[in-house]
Structure 1
Amino acid sequence: MGSSERDRLVQQRVAVDSAGSDREAPAEFRLVHAVLFPVTILLHVSGGISYYTTQQWIQKYLIETMDINDGHEQHGHHHVRCLQDGNSTEGNFTRIEQETARWAMFAALASHVPSFFVSALVSSYSDKYGRKCLFIISALSQTVQMAITSLTIYFQWSLVLIVVGSAIDGLSGALYTNYLAAMLYLADVTPTEKNRAIALSIYDGLLMFCSTISALSSGFIITKAGFFPSMVACTAAAGFCLLLICCCLPETHKRHNRATTRTVCEMIRRIGDVYCSPKFNRVAFVIVLVIYFFQTFASVHRGSTELLYQLGRPFCWTAHKIGFFSAARHAAQGLASVVLIIPLKRCFSVVNIALISAVFNTGSYVLEALATTTLQLFMVPIVATLGALASTMLKALLSAMTPPDKQGAVFANIILVATSTAILTTYSLNHIYYATVSVFTSTVFIVLGGMSFMAVLLLVLFKMTQRGEAVYGPTENNSVRPGDTRDDVLTRSISSVDGNR
């Protein structure tokens, strides 16, 4: 090889290294994470407090408008009571629970149904226009929805306005769009040699932390300040978050990685391209997506179902106790996502962690269904500690199967599954609760436990039928090496994200 040829190769190598350093600039990486934290905390904490406030105000509103409030007050504030005294009949109590579940279902469906169509489409467009627009859309719609709810509470307007506000939020994809934007951010800025499963798990742990804060604070804020001030504070926090996104949040999806498709039909077609790509095992992708469906079905509607369950008999919990229970469960699961994921990852593969998580999740639902005392119910967060890891591991598997220019498309499929299960669970679980509240109120938890057990069975089937090479294809980092077990290949493949394809 001549000196001129060597010089040309050296120059090409320097150019490649420079491009790689531009893509993974340390300053950009630090800035993204620094701004992503306050954006996530503001949106999700305000959204959580808003949710608890709205659900409990709906029941209070129904008690007053249906003219069966017995006039009692607790701690100087009208408390959403269990109505189990001599002035309230069993029929009135059941009717209030049924109506609360019905209006909660209307509001949830008004948000989830448009989210199903919108969130997947905007995620594919983010492959062309960037990720920042997703944050702006989500924060703006959440601010508008909270403002409408605040006015409804203040003027005691019809519950239909709550549904309208939820529908407006749903037209942007609701919090699914924000969650999708965050996942794509992490996919953009996580270096290829890093473990994306850990990054996603830490972010999910942050969400659990936000849920813990909102659950703990909602009971105190509602009791001390009231429903209207609580909603005003949430609206202000969401509005400030919108300004923070517009002024401080940088774009991470570089132009050289952006897709070139333009029309709506092309964007929709991109969502289905992951099922046709020859770059990986499509059968394995579909199996993991089906497992994710059952896992999401078992977890997406858990909080709202627990809230209705705990407001009613035999527990009749106050806002304080409801918030404390929800905070305990989210804190335990957040701890597992942030702290336990690293030692677990050293000992088990991604698939094995998902399997262990699904088993614990199933056990927590069985315990919750059979609990008859407050002590037994507070044991549920302990059993459910590892229950949230399965969803994170499955998302990491799906992301690792997909090349960089199709990350938006694969996360669009993830969001489609999440929104479709949210619609299905909202409708089915509320109807199950409505029909069985006077017979066996824990029926919904038996159903959720069954769905979680289906995820366990499918994960076992996946481990038995899919080898690492069959799942990910013979790439540099995930090809089978001498002495490797199937789990070694699966674990290593998460670290070789996309860049080796």
Structure 2
Amino acid sequence: MAELPPGGSPQPGEGVPGPPSGCARLRAVEPVLLLATLALGVQTPLLTQYLWTRLANGTQGGSGGCANGSGAGTPAGQQDVEAVVAHWSLYINLAGFFVGLFSVTLFGPWSDSVGRRPVLILPALGMALQAAAYLLVMYLQLPVGYLLLGRILSGLSGDYNLILAGCFAYVADVSDKRSRTLRVAILEACLGLAGMAASIIGGQWRKAEGYLAPFWLVFAASLCAALYAAFCLRESVSQRQRGRLFTFRHYLAVYRLYVDPGRGSAWKKLALYSLAFFLVVTVHFGTQDILILYELSSPLCWGSDLIGYGSAARYLTYLTSLTGLWLLQRCMADTWVAEMGLLSNVLGLGVIALAATTPLMFTGYGLLFFSMAATPVIRSKLSKLVNENEQGALFAAVACTEGLCSLVATGVFNSLFPASLHFMKGFPFLFGVIVLLVPAAILGWIEIRDSKPEYSHFEDLPSPVQEVAD
């Protein structure tokens, strides 16, 4: 393995693109995540609303919305719109998942050899292509099926999940084990900061200008993320070598994380933490997918501005969770901080499930103030279980888990939502509360089991009487 020159940038011809010699290189990966999350935060709720607007014209319900003179005239027509939009959301997510599953596990381990910057540039460009495809559909009024093309283009380049994997692997490269949980939490707080801004901007901008202008922002933010990673970001992998991209070895690197016999009992913790992460993120994605539909329809009947404020309140939980984690780390173990985060999630979703008024809905959002504390703790614990040269493979596996979470969440919650409209509209949120009890039990069991040796070793010491007798 050849060592690179100071600064971590390869020389021309070594296979990994470097920034121009006159560009100041930074070790801050946060702008990449901020810009990519801004793009995703603007795009996701507006795409759901765009589908609502377009698809409602093809149902018996009229133009969608609530029965207030501008929407569906009957509850049955409104439910038809909700069901069609939920199903199209499922199709679009499926298209991205099956393509992204192979690209993320290919690019992630590859970054352990060639560096993190390439796996940040490619998916950002893919997101820009996806936004361009969406703009063509809107400008030309093409059938909504063409939205799948943009989703596939983004999936081929790794999509947003690869950006997450690259950013978290970058942080693992530049942090020690003691500070890693807080560093990961800071990175996740960037998700909330960008998402909160995106929600407010997207909702208000769509109300004033329609869909086209906000999606131009999505395109510009994605392109800026790619340019920053290409020209301004310093590489975090200090020793790199030329690595083949299209090789089965990258998939084996992810597979070996969980089956390598040399890890001892660590593979069990990897599996259990991965399961806990899967369940927590599945509930998060699933409830987020249906929140827009839940707020658009009766009895809430929110418009774009209230939807934007609601999304901003949801993203604000990233910042409040970071603050709480920083304070609570001083007096308790990371696992118990995560348990408190799960409790906050349970309480918030329980209130939202019963919310029939705007104040009660925002009360539910308020109770979610600490709900994002669990995921940075789990990411950090996973990162500490593998070697430094396996961070890319690990976070590629985590990214695939997140992609699977998106698929399962969309399939379960987007199918459960229309099916439960006739007996309890908020039932999917109660279902999420029940699911969260499982990761809470897993995290608690591992923490209690790991803490036992600290005390049980005293039981093996001989008593003073035995020492005298000996």
Q: TM-score, normalised on structure 1? A: 0.81
Which residue matches 2:42?
49
Does structure 1 retain, via aligned residues, the 8 Å contact 2:27–2:234? Answer: no
1:176 aligned onto 2:161: yes
Percent of paired sites with the same residue: 20
Distance change >3 Å, CA 468–CA 224, structure 1 → 2: farther
Q: Which runs of 5+ in 2 are unaligned?
A: 9-23, 459-470
Which residue matches 1:38?
31
User: Equivalences for 1:324-363 in 2 at 5 Å?
Assistant: 324-337=309-322, 339-363=323-347
AA partner of residue 381 (structure 2): L
Secondary structure at the aligned position of 2:423 is classed as: coil
Does structure 1 retain, via aligned residues, the 8 Å contact 2:61–2:76? Answer: no
Which residue matches 2:239?
255
1:427 shift after superposition: 1.0
1:225 shift after superposition: 1.2
Which residue matches 1:206?
190
Counterpart Cα distance in 2 of 1:482 and 1:266: 42
Counterpart Cα distance in 2 of 1:409 and 1:309: 37
Which deviates more from structure 2 when the two are superposed, residues 392-401 or residues 437-446? 437-446
Distance change >3 Å, CA 420–CA 45, structure 1 → 2: same
Secondary structure at the aligned position of 2:370 is classed as: coil
Which residue matches 1:488?
none
From 265, 275, 286, the equivalent of 1:301 is 286
Does structure 2 retain, via aligned residues, the 8 Å contact 1:284–1:466? Answer: no
Does structure 2 retain, via aligned residues, the 8 Å contact 1:94–1:438? Answer: no
Distance change >3 Å, CA 431–CA 482, structure 1 → 2: closer
Counterpart Cα distance in 2 of 1:357 and 1:466: 21
Does structure 1 retain, via aligned residues, the 8 Å contact 2:270–2:382? Answer: yes
User: RMSD of the alignment, in Å?
Assistant: 2.6
Which deviates more from structure 2 when the two are superposed, residues 456-465 or residues 94-103? 456-465
Which residue matches 1:6?
none
From 234, 245, 249, the equivalent of 2:218 is 234
Counterpart Cα distance in 2 of 1:178 and 1:440: 37
Counterpart Cα distance in 2 of 1:302 and 1:87: 24
Which residue matches 2:461?
none
1:429 shift after superposition: 1.2
**Per-residue CA distance 1:49-108 (angstroms, 9 max, x = gap):** 1222211111111223447546xxxxxxxxx63235597122211111111111111112
From 303, 307, 313, the equivalent of 1:322 is 307
Does structure 1 retain, via aligned residues, the 8 Å contact 2:286–2:414? Answer: no
1:390 shift after superposition: 0.5
Which residue matches 2:173?
188
1:161 shift after superposition: 0.9
AA partner of residue 90 (structure 2): M
Counterpart Cα distance in 2 of 1:156 and 1:69: 18
Q: TM-score, normalised on structure 2? A: 0.86
Counterpart Cα distance in 2 of 1:32 and 1:182: 14
Counterpart Cα distance in 1 of 2:67 and 2:123: 38
Distance change >3 Å, CA 97–CA 482, structure 1 → 2: closer
Does structure 2 retain, via aligned residues, the 8 Å contact 1:187–1:196? Answer: yes
User: Equivalences for 1:152-171 in 2 at 5 Å?
Assistant: 152-171=137-156
1:263 shift after superposition: 6.3
1:64 aligned onto 2:57: yes
From 252, 260, 275, the equivalent of 1:290 is 275
Does structure 1 retain, via aligned residues, the 8 Å contact 2:61–2:81? Answer: no
Distance change >3 Å, CA 63–CA 87, structure 1 → 2: closer
1:379 aligned onto 2:372: no
Q: Which runs of 5+ in 1 are unaligned?
A: 1-18, 24-29, 71-79, 470-479, 485-501
